[in-house]
Amino acid sequence: MCETGIIQYKCKDCGLSFWVKKEDDPRFCPFCESALIAAGEE
């Protein structure tokens, strides 16, 4: 299953991954509320 416009994010603090729509552009982890980095961005 590979939907377009969906991005995987991984929290650098708690280590959990989640997926959101590209246009949502989350700034904080929904689990621990830490600031995010995108999984695909180094």
- Contact criterion met (CB below 8 Å) for 34 and 27: no
Q: What confidence category does residue 3 fall into, taking pLDDT thresholds of 50, 70 and 90?
A: low
Averaged pLDDT for residues 23-27: 80
Q: What confidence category does residue 17 fall into, taking pLDDT thresholds of 50, 70 and 90?
A: very high
Residue 28 is given by DSSP the state B
CA distances from residue 26 to 11, 29 in whole angstroms, order as listed: 11, 8
Q: Which residue has the higher pLDDT, 36 or 33?
A: 33
pLDDT at 38 over 60: no
Can you give the pTM of this predicted structure?
0.57
Task: Please list, in sequence order, all residues whose beta carbon lies within 8 angstroms of the beta carbon of residue 11, skipping any fewer than 6 positions away.
Answer: 17, 29, 31, 32, 34, 36
